[in-house]
Structure 1
Amino acid sequence: MSNDEQIRAGFIASRFARLSTSGKLLLILTLALLPLGLIASLASIETARANHANRAAAARLLAGDSADRLSLFLDHVSASLRLAGRGGGAGACRRAAEEISVAGVESARVALFNPAGRLICASASFPGTLPLRAPGVAPQLLLDGKGGMLRVILGTGQNWALAELPRALLAKVSHPNAVDGSYDLRLADGRGGVMPLAAMRTVALGRDIVSQLPVAQGQLRLAMRVESLPLSANELLITALPLLMWLAAAAIGWVVANRLILRPLGELQRAIETARARGGALVMPAMTTPAQEIRDLGDALSGAMATIARHEAELEDGLARQTRLTREVHHRVKNNLQVVASLLNIHARGARTPEAIAAYGAIQRRVDALALVHRSHYAELEINRGVALRPLIGELAANLRGSAPPGMAPPRLVLDTRLFSATQDVAVPVAFLITELVELAMFRLPGTEIRIGLDGEGPDLEPGRARLSIVSPGLADAAAPRDEAFVRGERVVGGLARQLRTTLVTDAEAGRFALDIIVMDEGQPRMDGAGGRDLVMQQRGGALPPVHMGG
């Protein structure tokens, strides 16, 4: 099998798998019974075609019968005219007209002329003398221009005779005995004259059967057109019956399977969902006609759900105990960090040299940063959404500004951060990195402005990351010489960036440090460490206005 065939087969299988069970059952039954229905329908169609061919042959026989009847009638007219011409006299024309006419229709008109064209006799309805030349012995048949009558002219020895046959008379004579009127008769001569004898009644969905036969030794042609139904009512029923049986079998199979299997399964599924939503035992629905196997399945599911509910209760108790233990551990770690911070504060007050005071201050700032992250993580345990970075950065910036030594101008901090959360593994390096850079900037250039930004938009940002940037004139090369403290701080910041598995981008002229960090979500409201709703989270998903600290 080629790759294209495999792809096509996989696509068909996936589309079939998406169907519901009732749809699959209906499709399978339909495809399984369709060949049988088609075979039976084709056999019925062939039978209908044979019947149509028989009807066409019967129509041709009727056309031949009409042509023979009309030919015999014209021969009778010719014989009557010859007899009238031999007898002569005024009553000969009247007798000939009576012999030619048929009861119930318009009468024929007969006239007798001498060789000079003078009228000898005529029937009562004949219009008058006609200046005609004597014809031959053989009869001549002419249609008038309007197709209203047929003239029969023939010689009778010394005289010659003329008969005008109206259309109603010819239609009565040529009517086939075995046709109900769904036909069309037309009489035509060789000079373009046409006489319609009967108009056909249209049959819905009928097919034309046309027959043309010569009349009166070929002087005239009789054309019959019959409309025949392609399928009679019985044939249509026989043809459609296999397809109806196919549809009925597929529908009945689908209804039975849906009633006995699929619907009870759906009721059982809804009962399971209700029990899962309410957290109670499985209550079996009242099923009237389900299969016994479905009842057994319901009993088995009821027992399984009772076992699962018991296990879930045990797991919840164990999780509650584990949560209490974890909360106690974090609470003790937080207390220990507070004790360390207090000890550092006491020893810093007793320091005598500026170097010792600066060392105590640097250590205390880092311990405060770790304690702040740990407190935020301890609060995160209550809702399990990660450490909120905006409140963390804001509180960290306030602590760093307040830790400036006496006599030094505190920095001006501008916070432009969006609402993101991060894990503790990300929050701790971020807090230490901000502490290092803010400390470097405020000691190199006292009173400088420090802008801390956290943005999640950018064409080069990967999904799930945000860009943390610290920009300050105090971090630029022009602020102060690159001493040992600045080089050590750059090395620490680079190590923190490697811990975050990201690349640190620096701009020495602008004093900018930036790196991309992994975040959990954006714009999600959460609880802060004090247990209340964080006020800076009121604007959800959008950029919040920058926060300024200091003049």
Structure 2
Amino acid sequence: MKAGLRGKLKFTERLGFRLAFLLSVALLPLGTIALVQTWRMAQDAEQAAESALLQRTSNAAAGERAMIESALGASEALSQALLDTVENDAACSQILSDYVRRSPIYAFAGFIPTNGQMTCSSSVAARDMSQSATYQAFIAAPRAMVTANATGQISREAVLIVTQPVSRDGVLLGMLTLSVKHSTLELLRSRRGRERDVNIVMFNHAGQPLFVENHLLAEVPLVLPAGREASSLLDSDEAIFRARDGAGRTRVFAMLDLVPGMVQVVGSWPPEQAQLGRDLIAPSTLLFPLTMWITSLLVAYAAVDRLVIRHVRELRGQMRRFALGRRDAPPDVLKNAPAEIADVSQTFHNLARILIRDEAELEASLQEKTVLLKEIHHRVKNNLQLIASIMNMQIRQVKEPGARRVLKSVQDRVASLATIHRNLYQAETLSAVQADQLLGDIVSQMTMMSVAPGSNLKIDTDFAPVTLYPDQAVPVSLLATEALTNAVKYASPPAGAGQSWIRLTLRDEKDGTATLAIMNSQGSDVPDRVEGDAPGIGTKLINAFAHQLDSAVEIVSADGEYRLSVRFEIGGIPPAEASPGI
């Protein structure tokens, strides 16, 4: 686990990373001071931007505020004027009618007693107002208030209603109402001019919408923040915040008291028209110290890369190429490098030049020794073939069968040794022999020498590509020769079949071992195996060769088949002592 973690953190050992880390630590105090100062400046800018936006919202609703304050003042004055005529419906109605006629901004004025029966109004008709929302809200909490009605009972239009209590000697007589049409408010705003792209929404102290610009009262949720009621906005401590409105647009909302304690206003601004301090200053100012820090790191890293890392990387590349075998010429000495790195480069150049010279001398010496060793193998092969030929001439002159058989077996062994030496000097490397090719040559040679044409004997081979050292190739080849000689001698047609057969296999076990097996068919009448004039010499030789391979012979004779196998390790064999029986 520690090794895996260290591998993942390998980059921390690089010079560039360490330099960046040290510079970061060095610049940390300065960066911290810059960030603190920048943050303070951003907070001041934020407060200034919020104050400016609240002021713009207040200016945008200045006309509505003036209208409501004027209506509150007018209703208070009228309530005092009606005290003397409140019992005289005609006189009371006349006062209200004259006032509405002189002030066209008001659509209606009326006095509603505490019983809810309105008989004094700017309209001549008496009405029962006991079921109206405005009357019930007033009776529940008698006070000056501002409400709205989407469909006024008199004008049948959306109206803003200003209510003022009428009292005499501390006794509540009723309430005076003044109504202003929303259309009048829209007309006044269009004549007076307004902030571009801002939507104004007014609420009373109970959270009831009073007026929304360019929308009906029922469409107030489209202008307010999505998912938030008016009452939650009134209880919120946020004066300015960013959110999406009911139509899904991103807006900046500013909320303030339009008429303290009675009317609040919410201004909905597009972001581009109401950028806050955090939008204008904070990102850029906070980014400036970070930019300075990154720039310092980049400049320092570029300097170190140009003066050090670039040359070290080039020197590393030269070393890697030299280690991978590109040694045609010594690597060049680095140019324009600092003195210390140039000295290392010159030392490596001298070292590489000496190594190239020594390797060339070693390679020439090795080539000479290789040629000599191949020549030795070639001459040994020729001498062994000469001996085999002389023995063949001797065999033709000997008439006694036993003697001929003994000479023939010796000749096969000499021919096998010649084949081994032939494969050694023909191989690309003298330290390894391809066992499949070697065994194939031996089998072919012995088949031509030992099996007469037209004999009823079939020989099959299956040799896997296994590489052997010379110390292994000799005992393996001689063992295969002895076993094949015995197999040719004792192979007989199996019961129920008409042809004898011999099968030789070499299998790579994929575990660092190989198995050599020689099998032959045998009939029901199996003869005793006698090795020429010296009984058992073939078996002794086979066991001796297996001993040189640090192995043992396994023999199985069953079901019409005789099988001899040896499993041995693939690898170098130390020089063995004189094997027993040889």
- Alignment TM-score > 0.5, same fold: yes
In structure 2, distance between residues paired with 1:482 and 1:347: 25
Displacement after TM superposition at 1:440 (Å)? 1.3
CA contact (8 A) 1:25 1:254 kept: no
In structure 1, distance between residues paired with 2:548 and 2:174: 137
SS of equivalent to 1:513: strand
Q: Is 2:9 aligned against 1:16?
A: yes
Q: Is 2:388 aligned against 1:390?
A: no
Unaligned runs of 5+ in 2: 86-90, 130-134, 152-156, 190-194, 215-222, 226-240, 244-249, 270-274, 494-499, 572-582
Displacement after TM superposition at 1:301 (Å)? 2.7
Displacement after TM superposition at 1:151 (Å)? 2.7
SS of equivalent to 2:528: coil
SS of equivalent to 2:329: coil
Moved more, 243-252 or 422-431: 243-252
Moved more, 54-63 or 393-402: 54-63
Q: Is 2:211 aligned against 1:195?
A: yes
Q: Is 2:297 aligned against 1:302?
A: no
Displacement after TM superposition at 1:511 (Å)? 0.6
Match of 1:333 in 2: 380
Q: Is 2:421 aligned against 1:374?
A: yes
Q: Is 2:323 aligned against 1:262?
A: no
SS of equivalent to 1:508: strand
Letter in 2 for 1:377: L
CA contact (8 A) 1:184 1:200 kept: no
Moved more, 10-19 or 206-215: 206-215
Match of 2:73 among 76, 79, 82: 76
Per the alignment, do residues 344 and 20 of structure 1 end up closer, same or farther by CA in structure 2, a change over 3 Å counting?
farther
CA contact (8 A) 2:431 2:470 kept: no
Displacement after TM superposition at 1:342 (Å)? 3.7
Match of 2:179 in 1: 164
In structure 1, distance between residues paired with 2:387 and 2:321: 54
In structure 2, distance between residues paired with 1:266 and 1:113: 96
Per the alignment, do residues 42 and 189 of structure 1 end up closer, same or farther by CA in structure 2, a change over 3 Å counting?
closer
| 1:383-412 superposed Cα distances (whole Å, 9 cap, x missing partner) | 457323333223212332333398995843
Matching of residues 133-172 of structure 1 within 5 Å: 141-146=146-151, 148-152=158-162, 162-167=177-182
Per the alignment, do residues 398 and 368 of structure 1 end up closer, same or farther by CA in structure 2, a change over 3 Å counting?
same
In structure 1, distance between residues paired with 2:145 and 2:254: 30
Letter in 2 for 1:516: R
Match of 1:434 among 460, 472, 480: 480
Displacement after TM superposition at 1:371 (Å)? 1.2
In structure 2, distance between residues paired with 1:52 and 1:329: 97
CA contact (8 A) 1:210 1:224 kept: yes
Match of 2:548 among 499, 509, 523: 499
Match of 1:452 among 493, 496, 504: 504
Displacement after TM superposition at 1:314 (Å)? 1.9
Per the alignment, do residues 141 and 427 of structure 1 end up closer, same or farther by CA in structure 2, a change over 3 Å counting?
closer
In structure 2, distance between residues paired with 1:493 and 1:186: 114
Per the alignment, do residues 505 and 283 of structure 1 end up closer, same or farther by CA in structure 2, a change over 3 Å counting?
same
Per the alignment, do residues 168 and 245 of structure 1 end up closer, same or farther by CA in structure 2, a change over 3 Å counting?
farther
SS of equivalent to 1:453: strand
Match of 1:311 among 324, 335, 358: 358
Q: Is 2:383 aligned against 1:357?
A: no
Match of 1:515 among 558, 562, 566: 566
Displacement after TM superposition at 1:515 (Å)? 2.9
SS of equivalent to 1:403: helix
In structure 2, distance between residues paired with 1:504 and 1:414: 21
CA contact (8 A) 1:445 1:479 kept: no
Match of 1:423 in 2: 469
Aligned residues: 488
Per the alignment, do residues 410 and 426 of structure 1 end up closer, same or farther by CA in structure 2, a change over 3 Å counting?
farther
Per the alignment, do residues 156 and 263 of structure 1 end up closer, same or farther by CA in structure 2, a change over 3 Å counting?
same
Unaligned runs of 5+ in 1: 1-6, 102-106, 123-127, 174-178, 521-551
Per the alignment, do residues 478 and 260 of structure 1 end up closer, same or farther by CA in structure 2, a change over 3 Å counting?
farther
| 1:300-350 superposed Cα distances (whole Å, 9 cap, x missing partner) | 333222222222222233223322332333233233323432443344344
In structure 1, distance between residues paired with 2:462 and 2:552: 21
Letter in 2 for 1:149: V
Q: Is 2:126 aligned against 1:131?
A: yes
| 1:190-237 superposed Cα distances (whole Å, 9 cap, x missing partner) | 59564336968996887756567885xx6x442546788471411222
Letter in 1 for 2:564: F
In structure 2, distance between residues paired with 1:99 and 1:48: 53
In structure 2, distance between residues paired with 1:258 and 1:191: 67
Aligned-residue CA RMSD (Å):
5.1
- TM-score normalised by length of structure 1: 0.69
Displacement after TM superposition at 1:239 (Å)? 2.2
SS of equivalent to 2:150: coil
Per the alignment, do residues 385 and 161 of structure 1 end up closer, same or farther by CA in structure 2, a change over 3 Å counting?
same
Match of 2:230 in 1: none
- TM-score normalised by length of structure 2: 0.66
Letter in 1 for 2:410: I
CA contact (8 A) 1:29 1:253 kept: no
In structure 1, distance between residues paired with 2:350 and 2:112: 122
